[in-house]
Copies of this chain bind each other. A is one copy, B any other.
Amino acid sequence: MDQLSKRRGMQLCDVAACDAGREKSHRCLLCSVRSLSICDALSQVDLVEFERISRHVHLDANQALFTAGQVADAIYSLTAGITRLYKLLPDGRRQILGFALPGDFIGATPSDHYGFSADAINAVSACRISRDALYHFAKRKPDLLLRINEFSSRELAQAQNQMLLLGRRTAEEKVAAFLIDWRDRLVRVDGDSEKISLPMSRQDIADFRGLTIETVSRTLTRFEREKMLAIVAGGVRLLDVSRAEMLAAA
């Protein structure tokens, strides 16, 4: 089980990646994250069509999926890896909006330009589909539209929690809530595990929580001194889960 989750940690749920070469395959039919993605709303027939109009893309760590301000020509459904979504101010200040996991659907925008940037934290795979193609594909498929709605409202609810956190919570609460939220999300792809793996940098965590890297570091070491957690290679191990959850819920 430990071995399994470790392998998954490297190559998050990506059957599809195996047939990146043979494009004529049943990429979508075999997709291991379909049940998590918008494609769960598609019939077998529609899946074949979807496979035709989408393309499987792969990115190495730190490559950009798209950048804020670019013409938003495509939308992505992630199949593997972790993606960082963020906005920048002209002077370089950065706010990370969230981390996207396999199954997530990103790139929808009300305008015709992306409102934020997205880049790979580790090796990432995704299905890329042009906005026009998706529009024509979806416009007579209420089930798919409902599924997309469901994803939007989930994302919006997450954004609302993030606003509450950024506007009204202390550094301690921000870091604790990050760990708990991240653990809960990882369960979906990583399986439940004692250790919370943190593939993103401290700077990423800081920019996600509206803090500085120093504050994140200090807060984590304080948590460690207080025996709430242990800092281990590539992540943390929660020792006092209920205390962490208390702080996160506060």
A residues with CB within 8 A of B: 87, 89-91, 93-95, 97, 108-111, 115-116, 138-142, 145-146, 148-150, 152-157, 159-164, 166-169, 207, 209-210, 249-250
> In the complex, how many angstroms separate the beta carbon of A164 from the nearest chain B beta carbon?
4
Residues from chain B with a CB closer than 8 A to the CB of A162 are 163
> In the complex, how many angstroms separate the beta carbon of A96 from the nearest chain B beta carbon?
8
Closest to A94 in B: B168
Most chain B CB atoms below 10 A, which of A90, A109, A149: A149
Residue in B90, B141, B148, B153 whose beta carbon sits within 8 Å of that of A110 in the complex = B153
Q: Are B250 and A160 touching (Cβ within 8 A)?
A: no
- Quick one: given A141-B142, A152-B149, A250-B90, are A167 and B95 in contact (CB under 8 Å)? yes
Assembled-state Cα–Cα distance A55/B214 (Å): 53
Residues from chain B with a CB closer than 8 A to the CB of A116 are 160
Residues from chain B with a CB closer than 8 A to the CB of A94 are 168
Residues from chain B with a CB closer than 8 A to the CB of A164 are 87, 89, 95, 97
Q: Are A167 and B210 touching (Cβ within 8 A)?
A: yes
Q: Are B152 and A89 touching (Cβ within 8 A)?
A: no
Assembled-state Cα–Cα distance A72/B210 (Å): 31
Closest to A156 in B: B156
Residue in B138, B142, B169 whose beta carbon sits within 8 Å of that of A140 in the complex = B142
Q: Are B167 and A166 touching (Cβ within 8 A)?
A: yes
Assembled-state Cα–Cα distance A167/B204 (Å): 13
Most chain B CB atoms below 10 A, which of A91, A148, A150: A148
